[in-house]
Chain A
Amino acid sequence: MTENSLDTSGRHAAADQASTERAGASANAPGSADSPAHVDSSVPSRVAAPPPGGAGRPPRPTLGRRAAAFADSLWRPGLVLAAVFAVWWFVAAREYVPNYLVPTPGQVWETMTGQWSELARHTVVTLYETVLGFLLAAAFGLATAVAIAYSRTLDKALYPIVLFAQVIPKIAIAPLLVVWFGLGLTPKVILAVLIAFFPVVISGVAGLRSTDPELLDLAATMGAGPWRTFRKIRFPNALPHLMAGLKVAVTLAVVGAVVGEFVGASEGLGYVLLLANGNLDAPLLFADLILMSAIGIVLFVLVEIAEALLIPWHASRRAGVSLTTS
């Protein structure tokens, strides 16, 4: 992290240096090729490496450095998790709380490994519902956002409906969905879509509306049609907002899928949770919760990775490695 912010300042230094050189070159006689590249000695030499004229970017961090940075970002949350784990283990092992309420980590582990194939099957079901719901929510959400951002009429027509759909407690319509669509995949996916839809729309509209009006004026003088302007200017400009919305949406999609399973299902982690609850099977309950959280975390990280690849240029991402210039 610190490494990269240093790089950035280094490039600034390089830019300023080159512009002063140019100033010198245009004021004095040109061709003073031997004009020394004044580099402040306090700047690390790696940063000063670009030749006079400033060609080239700073070298990419090596694999070792990146691994070190990754480890550096992990040890703090790791420590907190370990502390929580230790407290759990201590409380359960000493039986301050009876084991049928709080099982020991060992019991949970045994349940997880013992019933692994069953649990894996249910995890895949929930994961499938979540991902499908998320992707549909992203697609519909983005389409709605575009409609709202581009058309005043649609803005007035759709926005109240979107808002209304959001304030209905969606968990409360889960039973209705089960009545309508049965116990299969459909009601879970619909619920996931309904829950994950709103943040996508809101962030998409905010992103599309945040385009610098001067850029739009500029696009007009370039004679570009609305599609080109959308593709080259408005959409990329909206991506940072949109990605933030998608991160919220993906975690909410898990909630939608699980709640759908609560209400009526024959498989999935939500179904297992109810089963474990009914049997007072605390180890299974804990194992199930851990798997649900794991789904949320994995999907969230995937969206984060997508974000890092899509918008390496954005301020929130500048610590990352630049991948593209076009």
Chain B
Amino acid sequence: MTAAPAATGTAIGMSGLTVRFTTRRSQTTALDDVSLDIEPGEFVTIVGPSGCGKSTLLKIVAGLVKPTSGAVSLLQRPVRGPQKEIGFVFQKAALLEWRGARANILLQAEMRGMDRAQAARRADELIEMTGLTGFEKALPHELSGGMQQRVALCRALLHSPPVLLMDEPFGALDALTREQMNAELHRIWRETGSTVVLVTHSIAEAVFLGTRVVVMSPRPGRIIRTFPVELPAHRDYAQVMSDPRFDRLATDLRGLLGSAAANH
């Protein structure tokens, strides 16, 4: 599909994003002056301790949360209000429990008023691609956590969004399923060429998937550093895990995150 936008200009531009929550007693700064430009086709992973505002950052890009100050642009257009050119995947699969897997994927099409036949074809492609064949009619409670998250991923990809935002999508999965999903997501990204921003707690996940890893500090969330990931574009899970470059980067990240937490 025509997922990749023209290779000119940034896919996502964030400048000076600051978010403050005011409660009756105090004011909390969730994000503090975050600026980040993401090129089309990049896979940016954001790691940081819990509560550093990573999820808020994604929601700002999606137009679901308004920053206190700063500006975001998506595909070179300023973000004001919810964005349609994205696919969003949450930590929970957030499926409609009365719909089967395929119908859940097609929710995307119904809500957007997409062409039915075309959407159905695309849904079948995605079902095939993510190995959900045979479970088209299974209700969410009949699916394992990994399968549910696959359905959520298919739903986010149905309209071939140029930008995919993922908020700890595999955080609730067991380690084995998670590795498998990582490998699948990598393959899907290679096939679609979308721009992906993925928030995670897992250093291994961040390094394996990312073309760039962004490290954030504990609250108030700031970008401490960004690391380019010097691994081949096409990655095999087992190979990457035994690659010395992977080890080095993972160690660096662990050290950085550890000291960030210690300074807090």
Contacts and interface: CB of A to CB of B under 8 A. Distances in A.
Asked whether A and B interact, the reply is: yes
Nearest to B88: A221
B103 A325 contact: yes
A311 B98 contact: yes
A95 interface: no
Given A223-B111, A228-B110, A232-B110, A15 B92 contact: no
A224 B97 contact: no
Interface stretch (A52-60, A99-107, A142-150, A255-263): A52-60
A214 B94 contact: yes
Given A11-B138, A232-B110, A217 B64 contact: yes
Contacts of B90: 214, 217-218
A204 B8 CA distance: 50
B112 interface: yes
19 contacts: A15-B147, A18-B135, A19-B147, A23-B180, A50-B134, A212-B92, A217-B64, A218-B94, A221-B62, A221-B82, A221-B83, A221-B86, A222-B84, A223-B111, A224-B111, A313-B97, A313-B98, A313-B99, A326-B103
Interface in A17-39: 18-19, 22-23, 26
Nearest to B65: A217
Interface in B60-118: 62-64, 82-84, 86-88, 90, 92, 94, 96-100, 102-103, 107-108, 110-112
B134 A53 contact: yes
Interface of A: 8, 11-12, 15-16, 18-19, 22-23, 26, 50, 53-57, 212, 214-215, 217-224, 228-229, 232-233, 236-237, 311, 313-315, 318, 322, 324-326
A325 B99 contact: yes
Nearest to B143: A15
Nearest to A54: B134
A232 B88 contact: no
Given A224-B111, A325-B99, 4 more contacts: A22-B131, A57-B137, A222-B111, A224-B112
Given A15-B135, A15-B138, A55-B134, A221 B144 contact: no
Determine the interface band of chain B, counting residues with CB < 8 A from chain A: 35 or more
Interface of A is mostly: helix
B120 interface: no
B142 interface: yes
Contacts of A326: 99-100, 103
A217 B100 contact: no
Interface string B148-192: 000000000000000000000000000011001001100000000
A210 B184 CA distance: 33
B87 to A, nearest CB: 8
B137 A325 contact: yes
A18 B99 CA distance: 21
Contacts of B83: 221
Please name the 4 residue pairs, one residue from A and one from B, whose CB atoms are nearest each other, closest first: A325-B100, A222-B111, A220-B82, A224-B111
Specify which of B86, B88, B183 lies most central, judged by the most chain A CB atoms within 10 Å of its CB.
B88
Specify which of A219, A221, A224, A318 lies most central, judged by the most chain B CB atoms within 10 Å of its CB.
A221
B182 to A, nearest CB: 11
Contacts of A232: 96, 107, 110-111
B176 A23 contact: yes
Contacts of B219: none
B225 interface: no
B121 interface: no
A8 B141 CA distance: 9
B146 interface: yes
B82 A314 contact: no
